[in-house]
């Protein structure tokens, strides 16, 4: 392994690094990078592309940005054994039920004035949004370890693997129930460990002006 490859792999494991989709080489030809038209065409295969796990988890996180929940945005992505996405969902109120009228509070004098009796979790929506005849044998990528209610759905849908990012409610009873059910149903679950903690989507990169360059060009 060359020194440069070594550095590259070390950077990949650095959680503080920001992955910029469409970012250009930033170790050489700095002057060229300030002028996209002058940047020579690259000939080698990209090495900083997303892994499958990163890709599907990123889709789940992007979907979560559609959520109206002010406190918790969760996304889920169902993937078949051929690595095709067959369902995406995020937490939200049921179809036809106004998310302007229903409450979003986590606490209130009455449980009926909290979101909990009404909101559909991301896993439920991802499973019901499926665009395949069934999702038996699929994997589900979720931002948050599934609650016991979603775990029931996951099991009944025939999903065989759960990949989650956060386990912040690990010690709560509903998560303990989830693990109990998943273990009994022989569904594997594993925590996703990203190489990088952020992926930045830069719309301008397609025009050859990645974010960094735009900023550097704008600066005197
Ligand atoms: Zn749930």
Q: How far is the CA of 178 from the centre of ligand 1 (A)?
A: 10
| Confidence (pTM) | 0.77
In this prediction, residue 164 carries a pLDDT of 98
What is the model's pLDDT at position 41?
Answer: 76
Identify the helix (H) or strand (E) that includes residue 163. strand 161-166
Q: Is the pLDDT of residue 187 over 70?
A: yes
Output Rg (C-alpha) for the chain, integer angstroms: 21
pLDDT of residue 87: 98
Say how many Å lie between the CA of residue 110 and the centre of ligand 1: 21
- pLDDT grade, residue 37 (50/70/90)? low
The stretch 128-145 carries a mean pLDDT of: 96
Domain boundaries, the chain: 52-89+120-191
- The verdict on whether 123 is a catalytic residue reads yes
Q: How far is the CA of 94 from the centre of ligand 1 (A)?
A: 14
Q: Which CATH number fits domain 52-89+120-191: 3.40.800.20, 3.40.140.10, 3.30.230.10, 3.40.50.720?
A: 3.40.140.10
Share of residues in the chain with pLDDT > 70 (%): 76
**What mean pLDDT do residues 120-140 have?**
97
Q: How far is the CA of 27 from the centre of ligand 1 (A)?
A: 44
Please give the full DSSP string across 26-64, using - where no structure is assigned.
-SS-HHHHTSGGGSPPP-SPPSSPPPHHHHHHHHHHHHH
pLDDT at 156: 98
Share of the chain above pLDDT 90, in %: 69
pLDDT above 60 (res 207): yes
Q: In this structure, what token pair is assigned to residue 213?
A: 């360059």
Distances (CA, A) of 34 to 37, 39, 151, 208, 213: 9, 8, 50, 10, 6
β partners of residue 208: none
Q: Which of 54, 82, 123, 149 is catalytic?
A: 123
Mean pLDDT of 44-50: 88
**Average pLDDT estimate for 145-160:** 98
User: Is the confidence at residue 28, as pLDDT, over 90?
Assistant: no
CB 181 within 8 A of CB 153: no
Q: 56-65: per-residue pLDDT in tens? A: 999 999 999 9
Q: What is the mean pLDDT of residues 73-99?
A: 98
In 3D, which of 16, 7, 23 has the Cα closest to residue 197?
16
Greater model confidence, 88 or 6: 88
Q: Say how many Å lie between the CA of residue 151 and the centre of ligand 1.
A: 7
User: How far apart are the CA of 18 and the centre of ligand 1, in A?
Assistant: 30
Q: Calculate mean pLDDT across residues 166-178.
A: 97
**Which residues does 1 contact at the CB level (< 8 Å), separation at least 6?**
9
> Regarding predicted confidence, which is higher, 110 or 17?
110
């Amino acid at each position: 392994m060359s020194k440069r490859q070594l550095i590259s792999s070390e950077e990949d494991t650095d959680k503080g690094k920001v992955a910029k989709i469409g970012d250009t080489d930033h170790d050489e030809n700095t002057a060229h990078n300030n002028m996209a038209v002058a940047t020579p065409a690259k000939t080698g295969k990209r090495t900083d592309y997303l892994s499958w796990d990163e890709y599907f988890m990123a889709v789940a996180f992007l979907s979560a940005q559609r959520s109206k929940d002010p406190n918790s945005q969760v996304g889920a992505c169902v993937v078949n054994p051929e690595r095709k996405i067959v369902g995406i969902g995020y937490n939200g109120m049921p179809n036809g039920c106004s998310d302007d009228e229903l409450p979003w509070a986590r606490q209130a004098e009455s449980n009926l004035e909290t979101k909990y009796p009404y909101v559909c979790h991301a896993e439920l929506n991802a499973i019901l949004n499926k665009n395949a005849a069934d999702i038996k044998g699929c994997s589900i990528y979720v931002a948050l370890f599934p609650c016991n209610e979603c775990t029931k759905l996951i099991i009944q849908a025939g999903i065989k693997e759960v990949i989650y990012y956060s386990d912040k409610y690990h010690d709560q009873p509903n998560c303990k129930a989830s693990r109990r059910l998943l273990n009994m149903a022989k569904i594997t679950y594993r925590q996703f460990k990203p190489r990088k903690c952020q992926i930045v989507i830069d719309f301008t990169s397609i025009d050859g002006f990645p974010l960094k360059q735009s900023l550097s060009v704008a600066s005197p």
